[in-house]
Structure 1
């Protein structure tokens, strides 16, 4: 997402020209309307780093303070926050990378580690959101089954999610991630030489890491919706909690996950076609759309803390207290400034 996922540099026209020479393709060059990667992406990364670090740090602190009272769903929320922190700590290095006009100075190994952390965050997030959805499904539809689930079970499931995501992401580290000693590129997929194999890997990864969890989540909330609106035994609070989580999941999937996987694979396919001297007009639009989806993808680390509002009942109250204190401070500062102005006016009149 946040690297040069296609082996493109910050100036696509020159890069496509280099690719034409290397691969003897006849595709016409194109130019992005703005220097997207070196201007827009660093700005997004900085905002996500600040907001995500504060929000996730606050949420994790609140959960850990209530460790002895930790509920099953909070185990998944805790792991969700850890996945976000894992990715957020790599963002300063990517900001430096783009501010230096896409020159990676931290070495090939750390480039691969950075991309690995991103993949752990992305598919770990999807996995733990799926677990939260299944938990809500059992809590609403199968209360008897829910009674037999303990915190130990949720910890075991969390370990399995991390292992599964790690196994899925590990092959990515064996693909070439850097391009030459002088350019210092750090791709988030691979170089043009291995793009055919990477496309196959990416499609399988998308199916197992995104499509299957998405179908499970959809099935869970489809059944939950039927139960909530057809059975009278559910109360309004339960309906509101389920609807809030559903809204958060729809936001994350529609803004972050779906565009990323769609345009990433379409862009890889266009690279394969270009290498085979098959050029289409939609190649340029897909490339630009993929660049935009890269910026949207990293927002998940700033949006995931919304799940804390659902998983921990005390956090909304803490948030209201924090906002109330902020308003009081602003009001106090405003009144103090108004008083100073009044005194100054009175002195001038005397």
Structure 2
């Protein structure tokens, strides 16, 4: 019996090594562990700070949405870690689809809330939006709209398309849904998301830089004494998080889609999995809040 169990585990490991070898798994275990520990600590500390301060600013009212997203992702990470440690998925194919899809849902929903914060600051600078006139219920309505619209887009893809190929349920493997990129509809969806995110980030970055340089020119050398300048610099933080955590995944995705082959995929899968894992690092943003980078 012991020999049989050893053989089964060895076969599972051999199958897994064709897709995500030991080096890949060690990198992912380390990265996800850091995100799990740092993200959990940051989320708890941020919640305590918010309960104490009870700020009514727009950013403070959007932050709970981001905390909810981070919390959902953090709950899913132990399942990922158990798989990369044991090399066997024992929770069933549906759970695999859920855990796998959470990381993408978290990325895109977080992206939308980050963009909402950045745009609100820009509108405030251009006097299109007076923050003092922005009531709490406006932000609540905006949050509800984002959740509803995002769910209407995301859930149909998950329930009817994502991970439904019978190949994904075999041999107790998980997180290999990149194989669906051989299907035209997934290629279209991926390219569409790449274009949307890249275009949005470039446009916001150019506008944000123009605004900051204009303010530096007008307020130099006392720009740090002005609240609006500090607010623009602080909101730039969210744009930098997007660039560091989300853009590498989408930039590499173009190369991955064009070059992926199930016969020779080891290096591409390694880099793809690392880029996917990198998107979760945005969970550490709460530690930056606690550290005083953003208030």
Question: What TM-score do the two structures reach when normalised by structure 2?
Answer: 0.79
Instruction: Indicate the structure with greater helix content.
Output: 2
Q: Supply the distance in 2 between the matched residues of 1:144 and 1:292 (Cα, whole angstroms).
A: 39
Q: Supply the distance in 2 between the matched residues of 1:187 and 1:66 (Cα, whole angstroms).
A: 40
Tell me which residue corresponds to 1:168: 153
Say which of 179, 183, 207 aligns to 1:195: 183
Specify which structure has the bigger relative contact order, considering alpha-carbon pairs within 8 angstroms and separated by 6 or more residues. 2
Say whether 1:289 aligns with 2:256. Answer: no
Tell me which residue corresponds to 1:243: 233
Q: Give deviations 1:192-225, integer Å, cap 9, x for gaps.
A: 58533321221123334x2354245325413421
Three-state SS of the structure 2 residue aligned to 1:90 is helix
Q: Supply the distance in 1 between the matched residues of 2:31 and 2:244 (Cα, whole angstroms).
A: 14
Say which of 5, 19, 43 aligns to 2:30: 43
Alignment of 1:217-228 (within 5 A): 217-228=204-215
Q: Supply the distance in 2 between the matched residues of 1:40 and 1:144 (Cα, whole angstroms).
A: 44
Q: Supply the distance in 1 between the matched residues of 2:187 and 2:267 (Cα, whole angstroms).
A: 19
Say whether 1:231 aligns with 2:218. Answer: yes
Say which of 99, 105, 124 aligns to 1:139: 124
Q: Give deviations 1:306-333, integer Å, cap 9, x for gaps.
A: 2564553xxxxxxxxxxxxxxxxxxxxx
Question: What TM-score do the two structures reach when normalised by structure 1?
Answer: 0.68
Contact 1:74 1:311 in 2 (8 A): no
CA pair 107-285 structure 1, distance change in 2 beyond 3 A: closer
CA pair 36-164 structure 1, distance change in 2 beyond 3 A: farther
Gaps of at least 5 residues in structure 2 are: 1-13
CA pair 144-157 structure 1, distance change in 2 beyond 3 A: closer
Say whether 1:52 aligns with 2:52. Answer: no
Q: Supply the distance in 2 between the matched residues of 1:299 and 1:193 (Cα, whole angstroms).
A: 24
Contact 1:97 1:104 in 2 (8 A): yes
Tell me which residue corresponds to 2:61: 75
CA pair 164-253 structure 1, distance change in 2 beyond 3 A: same
Q: Supply the distance in 2 between the matched residues of 1:255 and 1:38 (Cα, whole angstroms).
A: 22
Tell me which residue corresponds to 2:16: 10
Tell me which residue corresponds to 2:250: 261
Q: Supply the distance in 1 between the matched residues of 2:67 and 2:172 (Cα, whole angstroms).
A: 31
CA pair 219-166 structure 1, distance change in 2 beyond 3 A: farther
Gaps of at least 5 residues in structure 1 are: 1-7, 16-31, 313-350
Contact 1:79 1:158 in 2 (8 A): yes
Contact 2:181 2:187 in 1 (8 A): no
CA pair 287-194 structure 1, distance change in 2 beyond 3 A: closer
CA pair 193-138 structure 1, distance change in 2 beyond 3 A: closer
Q: Give deviations 1:222-253, integer Å, cap 9, x for gaps.
A: 34214312333984143344324424532x23
Deviation at 1:109, TM superposition (A): 1.6
Contact 2:208 2:236 in 1 (8 A): yes
Deviation at 1:263, TM superposition (A): 1.5
Deviation at 1:50, TM superposition (A): 0.9
